[in-house]
Structures are given as structure tokens and as C-alpha cells.
């Protein structure tokens, strides 16, 4: 498939830490989750992708535009970006603000009114179009940020924590919108803390830790699915149950004989129905069904179970060399205790 984003040996050095070297690709028409704990380097990657960070080693290509070329800003023509911008000091109506924003984005004049009205109605702000932005609630301000991301109807959508300050209704609506954009061949790169909310629509993951890439690939390759823990009242034939699950493409994991529980992973709700049919047919009462969270801890465990170490050998070598270099610089700065001053 066509590569819309290419990071080739990207490296950004700060005073106290180093991000990279990192290489990865984002294919056109996919939803990619950029994950990592706090301080892993996600923000640096996003800022470099957007062209905010200009000084770095390596190469970044977005929609065939090199970020280090003289025309690097042209890549932003196809990008829609979501971040949490506060409008406290914006003494302007929501409608006029969006009209001005459309002009800045380069949207054709004959499309501006239609776009503004459509997206304000989509996010249920049309009735408040004359209200000043500074008087909006936090939730309404966040929906304005979402409009700014989508109103250009871009080919590449970059979203940094879109679920904040949104209730479940709006989070689901944004999620469905991303699926619709994907069907149109658009590409989405998204960062989230609550991975559970979007795990079912993610195609590929890029996972960072301590400024290094520790994984790149599909969720199938590291078993990131919706996992459930089944607590069954009576003893059952584990092997027969596993064979049935395998026939229905349902993954099974740890069995706990003390709890009489089994962890399974389902890709679709239809598979959950098959699971219940088996339990009913075999007269196995279900005591409890516990949905297991998908978070960074569970992802790290999935990586470990696949034999993927925290940092691959190349990155580990680079990290080791960086530590050695820093130590050598410190040694050079230290003066011997008995050193005599030259006259």
C-alpha cells in the first residue's frame, strides 16, 4: 500500500533526553494508534510530523513532501489537526471564528458557508453560532476543536487525545466519524490514554517507550483485542471449549483452575454470541463476565508474551552508546583533585 508518512531514522536531542532514532511508516487509508506512557516521545513525534519541530536528524516525508525541503509547509494542506485549544480570550462569535479559520486554511469561498453550517450542526453548536467563544462550556470548546480538525475534510487527520472533555455520546460519534473517514480512504493518526475506547477501530500500532520505538505493526500481531475473563460455575472440559473457540476464531488464553475462569479475546460481538451459545448448549452457568482493560500495562505484557523486548537490539545499542557518550563528557569536565595550577 501507499505510504503517506515516512519517518526514517528520526532523532531529536534535547538537553536532558534523546528521542530516537525512530523509523516507521503509516500507510494510506489506515487508522494508526500512536501509544506510549507519559514522556515516551509521542508529542515530539506529532510536532515533528506537523512541521512544528524543524531541527532534527533523519528524514520525515508527508504525502511525498520532505519536511526539510523549502516547500515543507505544503504538506499541511492535506492535514487536519486536533488538539485541546482554549478559547477563553476569544471575544468573537463561534460562526465568525470558523469562517475566518476556513479562509486561513485556504478553503474556497464558495464552500465556506456550507462547511461551517454542516460541521456546526454535526457537533450540535449551530444554535450557539452567535455566542462568543469565551462563553462556551468546556465541552462546547472541545467540539469547536473537533470542527477545526474536520472542517477542511483533510486526507490526513492527526488527533491528540480527542476524548478529553467529551461525554460517551460524543466520543462514540467521533469514533464513528473516523470509521467513515477511513472508508473514504483517509488516514488517521491518533494518540489516546484510554485505549479501550478506540482499540476496535485501530489497524496498526506504533508504540513508544523512553524515546524509542518498541513496536510497529497490526493489533493482530500482538493480540490486542477486547479480552474477557469468563467465570464459570461448574467444572468444564477446557480442551473441548478451547477447540470450539478456535473453530469460531475466538482466541483463548490463561485458564485458572482455582477460579474456574478462562480469558478469551473476541474481535466481534457475533463471536460473543457464539460463546454464549456454547455455554447454554453445554449447560454451563456463567457466574461473571469481566471485560479486561486494554492499557499500556496489558500491551507491554502482550509484547513480552510475543518475545518482543522493551527495546530491540539496534535501539538498545544506540541507547547504550548515548549513555557512554554522556558519561565520557562528564568525566572530561571533572578536574583532578591534586591538579596544580600552571603559573
Domain spans of the chain, in order of start = 3-87+136-221, 89-132, 225-293
Percent of the chain at pLDDT > 70 equals 88
Distance separating alpha carbons of residues 143 and 305, to the nearest angstrom = 40
Helix and strand numbers (H, E) in the chain are: 9, 14
Q: What is the pLDDT at residue 311?
A: 42
Q: What is the mean pLDDT of the chain?
A: 87
Q: Quick check: 80 and 154 in contact, CB under 8 A?
A: yes
**What per-residue confidence (pLDDT) applies to 219?**
80
Q: Domain 3-87+136-221: give its CATH superfamily.
A: P-loop containing nucleotide triphosphate hydrolases (3.40.50.300)
**Reduced to 3 states, what is the DSSP secondary structure of residue 159?**
strand
pLDDT digits (tens, 9 = 90+) for 189-215: 999 877 888 888 999 999 999 999 999
Angle, helices 94-105/138-150, rounded to nearest 10 degrees:
30
Q: What is the pLDDT of residue 310?
A: 43
pLDDT recorded at residue 214: 92
Helix axes 168-183, 138-150, angle to 10 degrees: 0
Beta-bridge mates of residue 31: 188
> Average pLDDT of 309-331?
48
Rounded to the nearest angstrom, the gap between the alpha carbon of residue 148 and the centroid of all alpha carbons in its chain is: 19
Answer for the pair 266, 250: CB distance below 8 angstroms, yes or no: yes
Q: Which residue has the higher pLDDT, 271 or 146?
A: 146
Element (H, E) at 177: helix 168-183
What's the pLDDT tens digit per position in 218-261? 887 877 777 899 999 999 999 999 999 999 988 888 899 999 99
How buried is residue 293: exposed, middle or buried, by Cβ count under 10 Å (0-12/13-18/19+)?
A: exposed
- The pLDDT of 79-96, averaged and rounded, is 93
Here the cell at position 23 is 523509523
Tell me the pLDDT tens digit for each residue of 293-316. Answer: 887 877 887 787 777 654 444 444
Taking the domain 225-293, which CATH number applies?
3.30.70
Q: What is the pLDDT of residue 73?
A: 84
SS3 156: strand
For residues 208 and 36, give the distance between their C-alpha atoms in angstroms, rounded to a whole number.
5
DSSP-derived 3-state class of residue 295: coil
Amino acid at each position: 500500500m501507499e505510504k503517506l508518512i515516512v519517518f526514517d531514522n528520526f532523532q531529536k536531542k534535547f538537553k536532558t533526553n534523546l528521542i530516537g532514532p525512530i523509523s516507521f511508516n503509516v500507510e494510506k487509508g489506515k487508522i494508526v494508534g500512536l501509544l506510549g506512557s507519559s514522556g515516551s516521545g509521542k508529542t515530539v513525534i506529532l510536532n515533528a510530523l506537523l512541521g512544528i519541530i524543524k531541527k532534527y536528524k533523519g528524514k520525515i516525508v508527508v504525502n511525498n513532501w520532505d519536511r526539510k525541503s523549502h516547500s515543507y509547509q505544503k504538506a499541511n494542506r492535506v492535514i487536519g489537526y486536533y488538539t485541546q485549544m482554549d478559547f477563553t480570550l476569544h471575544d468573537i462569535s463561534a460562526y465568525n471564528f470558523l469562517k475566518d479559520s476556513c479562509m486561513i486554511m485556504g478553503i474556497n469561498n464558495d464552500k465556506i458557508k456550507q462547511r461551517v453550517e454542516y460541521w456546526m450542526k454535526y457537533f450540535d453548536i449551530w444554535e450557539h453560532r452567535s455566542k462568543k467563544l469565551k462563553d462556551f462550556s468546556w465541552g462546547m470548546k472541545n467540539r469547536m476543536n473537533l470542527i477545526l480538525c474536520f472542517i477542511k475534510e483533510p486526507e490526513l487527520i492527526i488527533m491528540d487525545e480527542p476524548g478529553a472533555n467529551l461525554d460517551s455520546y460524543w466520543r462514540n460519534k467521533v469514533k464513528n466519524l473516523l470509521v467513515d473517514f477511513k472508508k473514504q480512504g483517509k488516514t488517521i493518526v491518533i494518540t489516546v490514554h484510554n485505549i479501550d475506547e478506540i482499540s476496535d477501530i485501530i489497524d496498526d500500532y506504533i508504540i513508544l517507550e523512553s524515546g524509542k520505538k518498541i513496536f510497529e505493526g497490526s493489533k493482530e500481531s500482538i493480540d490486542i483485542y477486547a479480552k474477557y475473563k469468563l467465570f464459570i460455575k461448574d467444572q468444564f472440559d477446557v480442551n473441548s471449549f478451547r477447540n470450539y473457540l478456535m473453530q469460531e476464531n475466538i482466541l483463548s488464553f490463561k485458564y485458572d483452575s482455582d477460579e474456574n475462569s478462562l480469558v478469551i479475546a473476541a474481535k466481534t460481538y457475533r463471536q460473543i454470541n457464539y460463546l454464549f451459545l456454547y455455554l447454554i448448549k453445554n449447560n454451563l452457568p456463567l457466574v461473571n463476565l469481566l471485560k479486561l482493560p486494554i492499557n499500556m500495562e496489558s500491551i507491554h505484557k502482550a509484547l513480552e508474551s510475543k518475545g518482543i523486548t522493551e527495546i530491540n537490539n539496534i535501539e538498545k545499542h544506540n541507547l547504550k552508546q548515548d549513555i557512554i557518550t554522556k558519561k565520557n563528557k562528564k568525566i572530561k569536565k571533572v578536574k583532578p583533585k591534586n591538579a596544580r595550577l600552571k603559573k
